[in-house]
């Protein structure tokens, strides 16, 4: 990164310093104090922006004005009364979800909710952080921080003084997810075993037909062994193969939800899916004709255009 980019207020180091400032202020309070929650939300936003800037500061620039891109690159204003505008936090989280495989939709969803708590705290009469349960949000906050920091090659201890305790809380999330999903699977398996052979066979046939019609990744249900579907969010780059007549694109998909219509088991969240063996990345493949992919006219469309041209009566009076 050149000197001009490093001097930009949208540069990674500048945003990290701002995040550290709020983290230091947060750690002056006990986790059950509302100030702790408020400063955690402020620091999280700057940490997310730093992670996106680490990929490229230009990703923070609002695209409505090209001068925002130049500002992100550390260049001076070329227009009077110009005020640089960056993208909103929701868009920052959306881009991170797509660009960082470790920043799952589940983590992004928590971050969005935590930032929304800040908005409620600052713009309404509700004392949201006073009433928020730390057992519900604090482990997820530490996990989000750990993932964002790791993307920049930094340990959690660089932001959180008591990193070991924070890591224990992160690990508890996985344990809790594993227990919860295991109990859910066992409950659905028991209900499934109590069905008659005829009822199970009908449900299996319905599940096969449903999975064939729906889009998603077909997998085996851990409760009833029927055909079920995984849905997910794209991660990584798209691999494109251009053939003579068609173009094939492949992209990795990180699972985010599971559904089985045979036993009605549903699982949401990557941590739960990973805990029961459904967390493996799968590949989504799309095939296009060359004309469709490159937005070209097909032979039929060209013939239609020729016929329209022959039928067109030239008007020389305009």
- The pLDDT of residue 49 is above 80: yes
Q: Tell me, what DSSP letter sits at residue 65?
A: -
pLDDT in tens, 219-267: 999 999 999 999 988 876 788 889 888 899 988 888 889 999 999 999 9
Q: What separation in angstroms does the CA of 26 have from each of 41, 43, 121, 242? A: 9, 9, 15, 52
The percent of residues in the chain predicted with pLDDT above 90, rounded, is 52
Output the pLDDT for position 202: 96
pLDDT in tens, 58-107: 999 998 888 888 888 888 777 777 888 999 999 999 999 999 989 999 99
CA–CA distance, 134 with 155 (Å, rounded to integer): 22
The percent of residues in the chain predicted with pLDDT above 70, rounded, is 91
Output the pLDDT for position 315: 35
Output the pLDDT for position 316: 30
Close Cβ partners of 275 (under 8 Å, ≥ 6 residues apart): 174, 177, 178, 181, 182
pLDDT in tens, 105-156: 999 999 999 999 999 999 999 999 988 888 889 999 999 999 999 999 999 9
Output the pLDDT for position 21: 95
Close Cβ partners of 301 (under 8 Å, ≥ 6 residues apart): none
CA–CA distance, 11 with 57 (Å, rounded to integer): 6
pLDDT band at 171 (very low <50, low <70, confident <90, very high): confident
Output the pLDDT for position 312: 42
For the chain, the structural domain boundaries read 3-161, 177-293
More confident: 97 or 292: 97
């Amino acid at each position: 990164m050149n000197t001009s980019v490093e001097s930009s207020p949208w540069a990674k180091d500048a945003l990290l310093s701002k995040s550290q400032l709020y983290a230091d202020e947060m750690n002056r309070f006990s986790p059950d104090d509302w100030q702790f929650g408020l400063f955690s939300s402020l620091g999280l936003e700057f940490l997310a922006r730093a992670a996106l800037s680490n990929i490229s500061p230009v990703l923070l620039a609002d695209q409505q004005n090209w001068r925002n891109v130049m500002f992100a690159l550390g260049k001076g204003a070329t227009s009077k009364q110009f005020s640089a505008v960056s993208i909103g936090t929701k868009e920052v989280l959306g881009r991170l979800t797509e660009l960082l495989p470790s920043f799952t939709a589940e983590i992004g969803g928590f971050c969005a909710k935590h930032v929304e708590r800040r908005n409620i705290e600052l713009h309404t009469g509700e004392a949201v952080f006073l009433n928020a349960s730390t057992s519900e949000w604090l482990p997820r906050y530490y996990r989000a921080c750990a993932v964002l920091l790791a993307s920049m090659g930094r340990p959690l201890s660089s932001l959180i003084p008591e990193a070991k305790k924070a890591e224990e809380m992160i690990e508890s999330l996985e344990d809790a997810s594993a227990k919860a999903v295991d109990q859910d699977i066992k409950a659905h398996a028991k209900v499934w075993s109590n069905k008659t052979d005829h009822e199970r066979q009908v449900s299996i046939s319905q599940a096969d037909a449903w999975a064939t019609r729906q889009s998603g990744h077909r997998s085996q249900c851990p409760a009833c062994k029927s055909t079920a579907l995984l849905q997910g969010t794209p991660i990584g780059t798209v691999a494109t193969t251009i053939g003579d007549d068609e173009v094939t694109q492949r992209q990795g998909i990180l699972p985010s939800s599971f559904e089985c219509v045979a036993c009605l088991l549903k699982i949401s969240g990557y941590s739960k899916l990973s805990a029961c063996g459904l967390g493996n990345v799968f590949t989504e493949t799309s095939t296009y004709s060359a004309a469709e992919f490159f937005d070209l006219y097909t032979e039929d469309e060209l013939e239609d255009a020729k016929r329209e041209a022959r039928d067109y009566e030239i008007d020389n009076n305009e």
